[in-house]
Amino acid sequence: MEQFEKSNTQAKKGLLEKIKLYLSKKTLPPHTDRRKFDHDFAISTSFHGVHNIVRNPSRIRKVIWLLVVLGSISLLVWQVYSRLVNYFRWPTTTSMEVQYVEKIEFPAVTFCNLNRFQAGAAATFGIIFFLWNIVSKVLHLQEISTNSTGSKEAIDFLASERNFSITEFVKENGFYLNSSTLLECEFFGKPCGPEDFAHVFTEYGNCFTFNHGENIQAKEKVSVSGRGLHLLFNVNQEEFTDDPTLGFVDAGITFVIHSPMKVPQFDGLGLSSPVGMHTRVTIRQVKTVHQEYPWGECNPHMKLRNFRTYSTSGCLQECKAWHIKKQCGCLPFLLPGNGIECDLQKFYNCVSPILDHIEIKGLCTVGTHNSSCPVPCEETEYPAFISYSTFPSQKALKYLSKKLNQSQQYIRENLVNIEINYSDLNYKITQQQKAVMSVSELLADVGGQLGLFCGASVITIIEIIEYIFTNFYWICILFLLKIPEMVQGAPAPQNHLGNKDSIEPQGLITLKIQGIYGSQLGSEPSVMDIKWKQPCSGCRAKKAEQAFDLVSDLPGHCPDCVPDSEYTNHYQ
């Protein structure tokens, strides 16, 4: 490493020596030539106003033109600076447009029972509520207290039931969808049934999605507003139950409306329909287009392995699955991907702590362009307006009680009526657009400011650069080579004209010449002090007959030097 640094240092020194050698061969133009170069530039440059300062004979007008030019330059700098700052802020504009269409795609709707498990199975395995909270933590982060009673029971249960599969247990003993729980189903006047729903696991256990991406309905488009999906559920509270100590105290159906290509996300987006109510949901389609960084926060190159379209919810699931699989060697069944399924022991001892670690360290983040899961460049949402009414009416209550062969109280406590419709056959596009579309527009703007205030162009800028470079080149020759040669000092010899013990400062000799050229200096003998910088080696002064020309000849030159011995004999 040290040899590498030494070689770099020697290379730099070699380059500097080459530059110095090249400049030393160049001659510095005379002062008159340099002044002529400045004058020629001022009268010939295309930078407007400068030639008026040079050519104008009136000093007042010169000052006025100088102020005009300086003011124009100041305004130009301010305008260019403001435009550059505005450009590098990457500004955007947001446009909203409503598109009316003849047909529009219907969204996917995922339904879950708020009472997640069958009462008989929950009575046999009371620990199932706590275990499912641990398992579903991969979807909905929640704190699991290690000192709780459920935690101690879970440890004992895991020790005794090593072959217990919570996946199979929930699928067989959770909420199910058949003719007894789905009493009515209509989609735009056409009958539908449980076979039109796809099973999916969520934090609510068994859930069912209508109009899933793989279903036929997802490819169809509706053409009538005010009509849509109509469902009548029987939540059967006597058969399905939940643990109120964990916050599950409601009875009814929870559902979420989402794109057929996205996974359902209940956290913060789920809607609820209580028993004994008719829930009317009016939706509209909103498409949002985000710009890529630096104008926006999306990343157009983000792709998901297990989903056809990118979404932040799907990205979060894949991110968690990757960290869990890396640390625990298995994959939770609620997360996408291929791998060995994590058993309950792994869930409790490894998956749950890893999820806490991911949350604390921020390993799976959402939002900004440099996060794990940035916002999608294009997404479709379905804002909903909900209204409720009591269901059923007195007359309908008697009708349903007779039809279902159930009591009126049972109808009130178990039936949920849900209706989802489009408000109109249109969708709204919210699009983020670049305020500055290209670099060419910025250059055109800056060029307009240059022409407006100074009449300048790219050619003018090149002229100024050439002028500055030429002057800099001359300054390098002057200050880096010529001046060091003139001011380089040498050891000063003893002063033979005064006190022989005293020494003049290095590089400076004071010569006291008495009586020489007395007739030229005046009638009286005079003393002439001469400060001679850079004395020649072995020389003291010029010959007496040439001594009066020291001012022009001595700096840097020492022609006709007098040796030390001759100097001592001749001038003392």
pLDDT score at 181: 94
Q: Check: pTM over 0.85? Answer yes or no.
A: no
Phi, psi of 415 (to 5 degrees): -90, 140
Total Cβ atoms within 10 A of residue 97: 10
CA diameter of the chain: 150
d(CA 262, CA 9): 60
**Cα separations in angstroms, 308 against 213, 260, 531, 565:** 10, 11, 90, 101
Q: What's the pLDDT tens digit per position in 376-386?
A: 999 999 999 99
Question: What is the token pair recorded at 405?
Answer: 């062969």
d(CA 268, CA 106): 22
d(CA 370, CA 298): 9
**Cα separations in angstroms, 452 against 72, 439, 442, 445:** 9, 20, 15, 11
Residue 107 carries which side chain, given as an amino acid letter? Answer: P
Determine which helix (DSSP H) or strand (DSSP E) holds 508, and give its type and residue range: strand 508-514
Residue 327 carries which side chain, given as an amino acid letter? Answer: Q
**Cα separations in angstroms, 252 against 109, 130, 240, 416:** 16, 21, 11, 7
pLDDT score at 277: 94
CATH of domain 99-433: 2.60.470.10
Domain ranges of the chain: 1-89+440-483, 99-433
SS3 state of residue 435: coil
Q: What's the pLDDT tens digit per position in 212-261?
A: 876 545 455 666 666 789 999 999 998 998 878 777 788 999 999 999 88
Residue 324 carries which side chain, given as an amino acid letter? Answer: I
What is the full per-residue pLDDT of the chain (572 aa) written as tens digits? 555 555 666 666 677 677 666 666 666 677 787 778 888 888 888 888 888 888 888 888 889 988 998 998 899 899 888 888 888 877 778 888 888 887 888 899 999 999 989 988 888 777 788 888 888 888 875 554 444 555 667 677 776 777 788 888 889 999 999 999 999 999 988 899 999 999 999 989 999 999 887 654 545 566 666 678 999 999 999 899 887 877 778 899 999 999 988 889 888 778 999 999 999 999 999 999 998 888 888 999 889 998 888 999 899 999 999 999 999 999 998 898 888 888 888 888 899 899 989 989 889 988 888 889 999 999 999 999 999 999 999 999 999 999 999 999 999 999 999 999 988 878 888 888 777 667 777 788 888 888 888 888 888 888 888 888 888 877 776 666 555 555 555 444 444 444 444 444 444 433 333 333 333 333 444 334 443 444 444 444 444 444 434 334 444 444 444 444 444 444 44
